Structure 1
Amino acid sequence: MGKGFYIRKELAVTCVVAAVAAVAVIIALSVVYAQEKSKNEVTLPFTAGPDATSTFSPTPSTPKEPWMHFRLPDSLAPVSYNVTLWPRLEPIADNLYVFSGHSTVVIRCVRETDLILIHSNKLNLTTFEGHHAKLNGLNGATAPTLTKTWLEIPTQYLVIQLSSPLWAGNMYELFTQFTGELSDDLGGFYRSEYMEDGVKKVIATTQMQPTDARKAFPCFDEPAMKAVFHMTIIHAHGTVALSNAMNYNPVNITMAGQDLIQTSFQPTKIMSTYLLAFVVCDFTYIGTQPVLFSVQVRIWARRKAIEEGQGNYALEKTGPILKFFENYYNSSYPLKKSDQIAIPDFSAGAMENWGLITYRETALLYNPAMSSNGDKEWVVTVISHELAHMWFGNLVTMKWWNDLWLNEGFATYVSYLGANFAEPTWNMKELIVLNEIIGVMAVDALASSHPLSSNEKDIMRPDLITELFDSITYSKGAAVLRMLSEFITETTFSSGLHTYLEEFKYKNTVYTDLWKHLQMAVDKAGIPLPRPVEVIMNRWILQMGFPVVTINTQTGKITQKHFLLDPDSVVDTPSEFNYEWFVPVTWIKNGGAEQQYWLLEKEATNEDMILNTTGWLLANIDMKGFYRVNYDSENWERLLANSLFTFQAIPVINRAQIIDDTFNLAKAKMVNITLALRTTKFLSKEVEYMPWQIARNNLEYFFLMFDRSEVYGPMQAYTKKQVTPLFNHFKEITLNWTKNPEKHTDQYNQVNAVSLACSAGVEGCKELTTNWFKEWMKNPANNNITPNLKSTVYCNAIAAGGVQEWDFAWSMFKNATVASEAEKLMFALSCTKQPWLLNRYLRYSLDPEKIRKQDATSTITYIANNPIGQPLAWDFVRANWAHIFNNYGGGSFSFGRLIGGVTKRFSTEFEYKQLLQFKEDNAGQLGSASMALERALESTMANINWVAMNKEPVLEWFTSEASSPVS
């Protein structure tokens, strides 16, 4: 055994035997797999080893037993693991890939117990003298004998009953040996495949979060069960093994008659199981020199991607962002290296595994010649998000998943600070408003929303944990932390984080621990607050939703009310705070200095907010607070005065905010729909990105509701009138589309200009895009379309064309070597107006040979965004739900995005009844889609009511404005 392979001598012989025993297990496994395939299953069931039929106990029927609970008891705590894994990158049967291994976990007994529960899922455990494990005492302790062991399927435990108790304070070690399928389900220890030079290549990789480490080896798979991990990977020559820590020198070994490499790794820091990672691949890397830098940074990817320089941007930005966070937290990066690796098949955007961060290719790789401005921003933002986790999440970890927002909301917020440091000209601190805050407000205004922090007892099952990985957790979490940082100042916020990290490093926390340290920083800085940090913030995290603040500038009266998009909806979630918040209201009067007022009750009066006959008041400056604003009608009229928008007296974020607030207030029946529509009249003079993007987002809802009705024509005509000046503006500043705009956000708004102009029929736009595409079709090796406009050009050309354009794009998609380029083509293929092509594409979406599992959700959702494709996608999802649920439910499919995507056009009673029927038909097969389905039902009912109330005035307004001259 090489250096770093930590295992006791009495188990060493067993470990050698394990390799031979694994062969027998693999043979049995292939038989089981074939049987399961015939039942249309893709994952292996819980089974014991090949000789275990006489000792495998049935599942106990009583729910009172400890193994029927989803949470581990507090009787045992892991200290360290020694894990050896051998993944096979060649199939042993028809498309059956496996891995085998063994694990020794050192356990400290905290409380006397005669029962061991350890997580194990989809592993075939070898039996030893009739049992699935071996137990030894350490430091003189005597281990009791094992009386019975079995796998408890519903709760995913290996259950071990003992002849006598383990004693508190004693140490023991538990040995298990196992085989599992290296499947393509994107969870646990899985395989990813890609083509290079016409050869299919296979890698073994991991995704443990939230509850899939148990698929790789038996472990105490809860975030508070931190331990040290000693990893050893056995792999074929020509491949490299990576893990969280630095590796020792690999050694050549012979096992089961094969010449192999054994790579052992230095022990990790004390960490949670969900942060463990290991990869076996033939990738290469670029990196920094450890002699010159205190931390070795390496970017790993497919060899061709590295050779083409696709990792250069990530390498350029990782070091500076790491340094930024070291300064921001006032805490050194705790590891010796930072490996970042691009995985061809990956369910999330990235995963913050400590020392070995895994990414989708689109989130790490960037090709300047082919990738867009948005692709570049995505890379730097995701890198920043994951590096933020190295401290906040990895060094200090939430105690349980009910506080997931503490990890993800925080990392989302500070990712914009890190990205802003890396790209200081991009104004990333402002873009958080557009990218995170405005979007999640629409979700949090639904009665089916949920608080940021849930009760621990309500989040027990894996599917409930998975449901928490939503926009509330990430984006609302970021929004409320940004608000907190604003009113206590960023310097004070950073100071509190430092002491928090110092006290709790390598430990677990709850959100009140963070409030405590931020309060200490506030007290030290002498910042006056109307209530303690905890009292203020608990109202924002322990109850769902947010307020709408209404300001009457005639009387100075200020009120707050729980904002719901459907004011008639019933909120099922009770609130101990009665949906009342402590609101930091920032405001300016007549363009003067910014002021702040704390709204601490449902209603208050501030005479400073009273206006005279010629003035205006604007609240929630730069949208620092997580609330909407309404005014008296007189102030709305003054804000919408033409000169304010024309001469930009209103800050750009607030120009966007006014549009978004009015449209949502109109949905909630708090203002007239025509007030909202009037905020878009000034777009003909607007060239900034944020107001245009917000207007586009809100008008998109109108298109979703009305693109099958007589409203569509006048709405298109009005859009054409408003966007034509923007189209001409960008035509001019780009010298007739021959160069890119210089400003970051201008590059985004150029996309809006062309996309909206083409969809609205602006003269010259369709010809521009289709001609670019035709030129590419003539010479596929020479694509001169500017990367920023590729998605728009591809989509418009395919929509205008037929099967020839579609087949060409499909061919380019299949042959794309840059992931971001493939993603653009994948979207554009959904733009065709040919139903038969859309149906063909839907069939492709569930064929992993054509569409990667990681992209199946996106593909179906893209098709549903197409008015022609929406009913096709809905029928397809319903017809194939059992297949989708069984084959794509293991982490590779976002059920929430799928349900929301295919139903967002629903606005009729008939469609509502279809949703109810779908819920009834699939009551036992919804899993993590349950919450999304409830949101879809609520949204559909709100859409029905909105259309009924607004169709006539909207039609009248668009008809009138489309024919009036540009103001």
Structure 2
Amino acid sequence: MDNYRLPTNVKPVHYDLTIKTDLKSFSFQGLVKVDIDVLEDSSSIVLNNLDLDISEAYISSDLTKFEKISSTHTSQERTTFDLPNALQTGSKAQLKIHFSGKLVTGLTGYYKGSFEKDGATKYYAVTQFQPTSARRAFPCWDEPLLKATFAMSMISREGTMNLANMPVISEHPFESSEDVPADLAAMLPENEEDKWTITKFDTTPKMSCYIVAYANGQFDFIESSVVMPLSGKTIPLRIYSTSNIEQAQYVMDVTKAVLPLYEEVFDVEYPLPKLDTFVATDKQGAMENWGLITGQTNGYLIDPSNAGVLEKQRVVSFQSHEIAHMWFGNITTMEWWNYLYLNEGFATLMGEVIIPVRVYPEWRVNSEFIVSHLSKAFNLDAKPSSHPIEVDCPDANNIEQIFDALSYSKAGSVLRMLCDFVGQEKFLKGVSIYLKKHLFGNSVTHDLWEGISDATGINITEIMEAWITKIGFPVLTVTESEQGITVRQDRFLDAGPAKPEDNQTIWHVPLNIVSVHDGERSVDRAAVLHEREKDFAVDTTKPFKLNAGTNGFYRVLYTPERLVAIGKEAIKENSIFSLEDRIGLVDDAVALAKAGLLKLSSSLSLVDLWRDEKEFLVWKSISSSIEHLKSTWWEYPKILEKLNAFSRSLFMPLVKKLGYEYPADESIDTTLLRTLAIEQAFAAEDQSVVTELRRRFKEYQDTRDSSKIPSDLQTVIFTAGVKHGAREDYDTVVETFTKPTSPSEGYAALRALSSTKDEKLILETVVIAFTKARDQDVLLFIRELAKNNAAKRILSKYVQDNYNQIYTRFEASSFALDELLTTPLGVYSTSEDLEAIQKFFKDKDISKYERAYSQALDSIRARIAFIERSTSDLEEWLSKKY
């Protein structure tokens, strides 16, 4: 038997699953009847089970009626059933299991959540099964390859509502009568005064266990419908929520806008008769359960009367991503978790770029992708501890660890590069071919490449193999001659040049050389580097650059002189270099300096050239670069002071020009740029900005009327109140965090509380995070506190002092565990701190977060090298100006 895959002697084909949920005792009972195809002679059946009590189990086959069988819980989250008579190859059988479990917190399996309504605490239960937690809710074959159909029934207390993947087909009281099957008799209420209801749902198509979903509780909902373009069918839509249902209209509008577009671009009908979305107070991120998407309030609910652009963009990003999975992941599912990126990378590209750009063109989401995803992927993939996009997953611990920026952002980035290379129309045609060929089935990487190859006539496997199966990405070094340019590729590492043993991969790199032809911008899409080094004919007397549109997943190193020339050309009114080109240039410049391939002063001089830049996204890239420098030299007060002066000199002119008010008729770009400029000037401690934001916070403090605060400035105003305020200001924001009027207001308060400079209040915030915040908010607190220079060492000490409690609380969810334990310790930049952290973890079991731990150590090492290499250069450049 494979040490991490279930035996293949039997295969489930249909589950009949009944769940009885008791929100008073926080427990559930279940009966699952599984129809099985017997593929080999079998004297035992092994399936997945974790933390469930199995009371009775029975087997029937073609030859025998139901017989009681014994079960043995084994290691690796499995239960083995020993059969009295061997099942014969080619026969069919049914396994019937009675089980029970506890509803506990933890955001995984079938878990309990809570919310406040009418002055009382209400409880509900909901599932989160990806990647391997269906086994916590019912005994099953919890592997994506083992698809089956599901018929769900839910028994619940009267007055509560049941949700599942499919529509309800019947609902009636559950009480003693002849209509109750004998199998369910054990679930009948013992007390006749208790009123229960049984809800039956339609049968699903073939699907993997991890996208099964159900929920029980008291929920509000809004509803609508949409007519689909291929089938002409009307699909009912509902948004359910535990609170603030009036704030769910925007996600309904998004759903109605994007769902038909997916059916159109994939040329594959949406296969289910409805699509619901359940917004929960206790939920981490979002989940693409088929027909029942689940998501957290902070990602889905917005105040319709005072919603900022960033809030709306967040809702679109969340929901469009999850709807992409209804096809790419749910209809066609990866064979095993090695191919997670097939789901997540594709949903990132489709859900956050290709579809939103058709609905919200003014948001320029393709350009935003460079800042939000490409840069994030570069940062992780530049570390020695990175991993290939397609990575072996030998056990459940490793599966959760690959839900990272490589499976989402890097995979989305290389697919975006491929889409640009072959053209979006052919790319989507290839995806459609792939989906149609694997409808309701499973797939591996080469199945996708085969579909796109069919659509393009290009050998896609040859192009993409190294990008998917090899670690890292290249930096292209450009040298010039009278004949043109020579381009060389080497692996990029942020701690310094790669050693020969780490520099073996040769990538297939589309160069997309942009230059001037007949006075116009021209892009050479035929130039491809698929060897270590190659010459290309380019007129170097005219402006040029590689990676037009920053679609390629690589960095480019020019000579300092060429970088200056590109920078000067880029700021011209009618430059041949696009917005996306400028975003990529800034990001590359600072990263190359960090790696020791370019002087830091050269990258800062490039930024200094662009003071008259008008585009928000370029300024966002500039601000990210400066924030990175500040987070590296955070224990160097004099350098920090001058970096702040540099930042003020860049952003204060924008604040003075744009002001603090948000006219209703202004462009989205102007709105976002104003917010960014104010936030950056405040972070750089400009006193006029601090004073104005403090004034606005005082108004809020006196009135508690958040409607007078522009939504886009809510976070920075609250932060000004806490960071530059007293105890009473901190307490005001604590109250807001405890009882927010909207999820975004609660998040703004959370970020503000994490910004305090007072050591006593920092510790109070840490305690609030770990003792009063919801599970998913603990992680948000950690991320924000880790950005606060005054809080870094306090947070780190708290995590170390309370390591065992934190580990025990979040052990079931490695999604959270890795960040909770490594983020507070990965902020350091000295050899002494590195040694201390390694010493602390020396005797710890890091198997559940080994990748994140290694990445945190790599971040510290890269920071140490950056400081050693560039401090004098940085000081010299800053001293000349400030």
Q: Could you say which TM-score interval applies, normalised by the shorter chain?
A: over 0.9
Q: Deviations over 1:468-499 (max 9, x none)?
A: 10010000010011111111111111111112
Partner Cα separation in structure 2 for residue 424 and residue 715 of structure 1: 35
Amino acid across the alignment from 1:584:
P
Task: Report the Cα offset of residue 335 of structure 1.
Answer: 0.7
Q: Deviations over 1:515-565 (max 9, x none)?
A: 111111012xxxxx5xx1011111110001111112223242111111111
Listed as ranges, the gaps of 5+ residues in structure 2 are 176-187
Corresponding position of 2:212: 276
Amino acid across the alignment from 1:317:
V
Task: Summarize the Cα distance change of 1:669–1:117 in structure 2 as closer, same or farther, 3 Å threshold.
Answer: same
Task: Report the Cα offset of residue 185 of structure 1.
Answer: 1.1
Corresponding position of 2:303: 367
Tell whether 2:248 aligns with 1:319.
no
Tell whether 2:44 aligns with 1:115.
yes
Contact conserved, 2:18 with 2:153, CA < 8 A, in 1?
Answer: yes
Alignment partner of 1:616 out of 524, 543, 551: 543
Partner Cα separation in structure 2 for residue 782 and residue 697 of structure 1: 28
Corresponding position of 2:277: 340
Q: Deviations over 1:250-285 (max 9, x none)?
A: 111222223211001010111000000001121121
Tell whether 2:565 aligns with 1:600.
no
Amino acid across the alignment from 2:407:
T
Corresponding position of 2:379: 442
Partner Cα separation in structure 1 for residue 593 and residue 269 of structure 2: 49
Corresponding position of 1:954: 874
Corresponding position of 2:11: 77
Amino acid across the alignment from 1:930:
E
Alignment partner of 2:401 out of 453, 464, 467: 467
Tell whether 2:816 aligns with 1:894.
yes
Corresponding position of 2:560: 633
Amino acid across the alignment from 1:198:
G
Tell whether 2:840 aligns with 1:918.
yes
Corresponding position of 1:698: 625
Corresponding position of 2:367: 430
Amino acid across the alignment from 1:830:
S
Tell whether 2:878 aligns with 1:878.
no
Corresponding position of 1:23: none
- The runs of 4+ residues in structure 1 deviating greater than 4 Å are 143-148, 289-293, 568-572, 645-649
Contact conserved, 1:144 with 1:164, CA < 8 A, in 2?
Answer: no
Partner Cα separation in structure 1 for residue 133 and residue 147 of structure 2: 15
Q: Deviations over 1:793-837 (max 9, x none)?
A: 111221000211111001011111411211111111111111111
Tell whether 2:99 aligns with 1:178.
yes
Q: Deviations over 1:49-68 (max 9, x none)?
A: xxxxxxxxxxxxxxxxx4x8
SS in 1 for 2:881: helix
Corresponding position of 1:670: 597
Task: Summarize the Cα distance change of 1:601–1:766 in structure 2 as closer, same or farther, 3 Å threshold.
Answer: same
Q: What RMSD, in angstroms, separates the aligned Cα atoms of the two structures?
A: 2.0
Partner Cα separation in structure 1 for residue 767 and residue 829 of structure 2: 26
Alignment partner of 1:420 out of 335, 357, 367: 357
Partner Cα separation in structure 2 for residue 748 and residue 400 of structure 1: 41
Amino acid across the alignment from 1:396:
T
Partner Cα separation in structure 1 for residue 669 and residue 111 of structure 2: 39
Alignment partner of 1:352 out of 261, 282, 288: 288
Tell whether 2:22 aligns with 1:88.
yes
Identity across aligned pairs (percent)? Answer: 27
Partner Cα separation in structure 2 for residue 681 and residue 642 of structure 1: 14
Alignment partner of 1:584 out of 510, 526, 549: 510
Corresponding position of 2:685: 761
Task: Report the Cα offset of residue 748 of structure 1.
Answer: 2.1
SS in 2 for 1:378: helix
SS in 2 for 1:927: coil
Partner Cα separation in structure 2 for residue 767 and residue 741 of structure 1: 27
Contact conserved, 1:79 with 1:228, CA < 8 A, in 2?
Answer: yes
Task: Summarize the Cα distance change of 1:582–1:408 in structure 2 as closer, same or farther, 3 Å threshold.
Answer: same
Task: Summarize the Cα distance change of 1:738–1:105 in structure 2 as closer, same or farther, 3 Å threshold.
Answer: closer
Task: Summarize the Cα distance change of 1:656–1:755 in structure 2 as closer, same or farther, 3 Å threshold.
Answer: same
Contact conserved, 1:186 with 1:892, CA < 8 A, in 2?
Answer: no
Contact conserved, 1:103 with 1:217, CA < 8 A, in 2?
Answer: yes
Task: Report the Cα offset of residue 141 of structure 1.
Answer: 2.9
Contact conserved, 1:553 with 1:617, CA < 8 A, in 2?
Answer: no
Alignment partner of 1:125 out of 54, 57, 62: 54
Amino acid across the alignment from 2:261:
F
Partner Cα separation in structure 1 for residue 575 and residue 836 of structure 2: 47
Partner Cα separation in structure 2 for residue 237 and residue 290 of structure 1: 31
Please, what TM-score do these two structures have when normalized by structure 2? Answer: 0.94
Corresponding position of 1:61: none
Tell whether 2:502 aligns with 1:502.
no
SS in 1 for 2:202: coil
Task: Summarize the Cα distance change of 1:899–1:370 in structure 2 as closer, same or farther, 3 Å threshold.
Answer: farther
Corresponding position of 2:714: 790
SS in 2 for 1:201: strand
Corresponding position of 2:655: 727
Corresponding position of 1:711: 639
SS in 1 for 2:100: strand
Corresponding position of 1:812: 736
588-597 or 310-319, larger mean C-alpha shift: 588-597
Alignment partner of 2:174 out of 253, 278, 283: 253
Partner Cα separation in structure 2 for residue 623 and residue 404 of structure 1: 25
Contact conserved, 2:596 with 2:866, CA < 8 A, in 1?
Answer: no
SS in 2 for 1:906: coil
Task: Summarize the Cα distance change of 1:477–1:581 in structure 2 as closer, same or farther, 3 Å threshold.
Answer: same
813-822 or 71-80, larger mean C-alpha shift: 813-822
Amino acid across the alignment from 1:330:
D
SS in 1 for 2:362: coil
What is the count of residue pairs matched by the alignment? 855
Contact conserved, 1:687 with 1:726, CA < 8 A, in 2?
Answer: no
Task: Summarize the Cα distance change of 1:439–1:217 in structure 2 as closer, same or farther, 3 Å threshold.
Answer: same
Report matched runs for 1:199-598 at 5 Å: 199-254=120-175, 255-256=188-189, 257=191, 258-289=194-225, 294-302=234-242, 305-306=244-245, 309-347=246-284, 349-415=285-351, 416-455=353-392, 459-523=393-457, 529=458, 532-554=459-481, 555-567=484-496, 578-590=504-516, 592-596=521-525, 597-598=527-528
Task: Report the Cα offset of residue 754 of structure 1.
Answer: 0.5
Q: Deviations over 1:299-337 (max 9, x none)?
A: 1113x512xx21111111212201110111011111110
Partner Cα separation in structure 2 for residue 422 and residue 313 of structure 1: 14
Amino acid across the alignment from 1:560:
Q
Alignment partner of 1:135 out of 59, 65, 68: 59
Amino acid across the alignment from 1:717:
A
Tell whether 2:787 aligns with 1:857.
no
Task: Report the Cα offset of residue 368 of structure 1.
Answer: 2.5
Task: Report the Cα offset of residue 899 of structure 1.
Answer: 4.3
Amino acid across the alignment from 2:661:
W
Q: Deviations over 1:36-86 (max 9, x none)?
A: xxxxxxxxxxxxxxxxxxxxxxxxxxxxxx4x8321011111011111111
883-892 or 109-118, larger mean C-alpha shift: 883-892
Task: Summarize the Cα distance change of 1:75–1:791 in structure 2 as closer, same or farther, 3 Å threshold.
Answer: same
Amino acid across the alignment from 2:341:
W
Amino acid across the alignment from 2:44:
L
Task: Report the Cα offset of residue 163 of structure 1.
Answer: 3.9
SS in 2 for 1:553: strand
Listed as ranges, the gaps of 5+ residues in structure 1 are 1-65, 92-96, 128-132, 524-528, 963-967
Amino acid across the alignment from 2:4:
F
Partner Cα separation in structure 2 for residue 474 and residue 782 of structure 1: 35
Please, what TM-score do these two structures have when normalized by structure 1? Answer: 0.86
SS in 2 for 1:761: coil
